[in-house]
Amino acid sequence: MFYRPADGHGLPHNPFNAIVTPRPIGWISTRGANGQDNLAPYSFFNAVAYEPPQVMFASTSAKPDRGDTKDSVANIRETGVFCVNVVEHAMRDVMNLSSGPWDKDVDEFEKAGIARAECDTIACSRVVKAPANLECRLTQILQLPGASNFVVFGEVVGIHLRDDCLRDGHFDVTTFQPLARLGYRDYARVDELFSLKRPGD
Ligand SMILES: Cc1cc2nc3c(=O)[nH]c(=O)nc-3n(C[C@H](O)[C@H](O)[C@H](O)COP(=O)(O)O)c2cc1C
């Protein structure tokens, strides 16, 4: 089939987010200017540069108690920092619980029973048991076409790696099995690896 998004797809569910898969999940922790902690998953997320290391995530749609956006973007606008927590398969249920449309004064760390620690380089909480945490300083927020579509870019200024995930000097994903977002309500867990040599290696 072929369709122009502007004309509609004619399927029972929008296939768009099943096409661009698998997507990593950035579990974004932020803190409001009032000290309120927030945690939510974003799969429009990726790393975008090495030197200096930079990441992005995109927020779509808005919450009634946040004007034109959601809690994460609203907090980052106030404080200029955020932390990306890597999600392992074992954390799938608490990650999912943190994605609820909770009021802005709900602390998802508390709601989902997730242990937190203070970041080292920014004033923000991190998921202490996550395989890795990327402490980020906001570089820019871009507004995209459409209502409430924002992309947040940040420079990674501090990185925590869980000790058991380091094997022979590698951050070894087989020790924790990253969770990936597919379309609809589907997920995948990374539990099988293979390597390819690049031309010229
Ligand atoms: C696995 C997963 C991935 C998600 N990815 C996104 C995303 O990329 N962008 C987005 O706006 N919402 C995404 N959501 C929905 C948000 O997590 C949800 O709207 C949440 O309430 C936003 O929280 P906040 O208002 O605390 O920022 C995702 C939800 C799940 C479960």
Please name the residue whose Cα sits nearest to atom 7 of ligand 1. 42
The closest alpha carbon to 137, from 150, 117, 120, belongs to: 120
Chunked into runs of 10 residues, the chain (201 residues) has average pLDDT values of 98 97 98 98 98 98 97 98 98 98 97 98 98 99 97 98 98 96 97 95 95
Q: To test ligand 1's pocket by mutation, which of 36, 63, 68, 70 has the most ligand atoms within 8 angstroms of CB?
A: 70
- The answer, as to whether pTM is greater than 0.85, is yes
Angle made by CA atoms 171, 85, 164, in degrees to the nearest 5: 35
Q: What tokens appear for 27 in the block?
A: 């579990």
Q: What is the structure's pLDDT at 150?
A: 98
Q: What is the structure's pLDDT at 24?
A: 98
Is the backbone of residue 61 left (phi > 0), alpha (psi -120 to 50) or beta? Answer: left
Please name the residue whose Cα sits nearest to atom 26 of ligand 1. 71
Q: What tokens appear for 140 in the block?
A: 């820019």
Q: What is the structure's pLDDT at 170?
A: 96
Domain annotation for the chain: domains and CATH numbers:
18-189 (2.30.110.10)
Q: What is the structure's pLDDT at 132?
A: 98
- Cβ–ligand 1 contact at 58 (below 6 Å): yes
